[in-house]
Amino acid sequence: MSTGKEQLEVDEDLPADSEDESEAPVEVAKTNLSKRRTIDNLLEERRLQKQLADYDFDL
């Protein structure tokens, strides 16, 4: 337990390392969003093709 009078050691190099890592998740998020949009577009196209195939043209 800490008594409140103890000095805590602070690592000064930590913020510099975290700045480099903070850019990486942004790129991953953009990539994941791009992949998700591609998948959504493919699913929408498949759904529309199925509707077109099921449509009765002999009205």
- In sequence order, what DSSP letters do the residues of 7-37 get, joined into one string? PPP--TTHHHHHHHHHHHHHHHHHHHHHHHH
State pTM to two decimals: 0.48
Distance, in Å, from the CA atom of 47 to the CA atom of 41, rounded to the nearest integer, reads 10
In a domain, 2, yes or no: no
Distance, in Å, from the CA atom of 43 to the CA atom of 10, rounded to the nearest integer, reads 51
Better-predicted residue by pLDDT, 51 or 2: 51
In a domain, 8, yes or no: no
In a domain, 49, yes or no: yes
User: What's the number of domains the chain is made of?
Assistant: 1
DSSP annotation of 50: H
- pLDDT greater than 90 at residue 5: no
In a domain, 15, yes or no: no
In a domain, 34, yes or no: yes
**What is the arithmetic mean of pLDDT over 6-10?**
67
In a domain, 38, yes or no: yes
> Domain range spanning residue 37?
29-54
Better-predicted residue by pLDDT, 10 or 19: 10
In a domain, 22, yes or no: no
Instruction: Please give the pLDDT value at position 49.
Output: 94
For 14-57, the pLDDT digits (tens) are 555 555 555 566 688 889 999 999 999 999 999 999 999 998 77
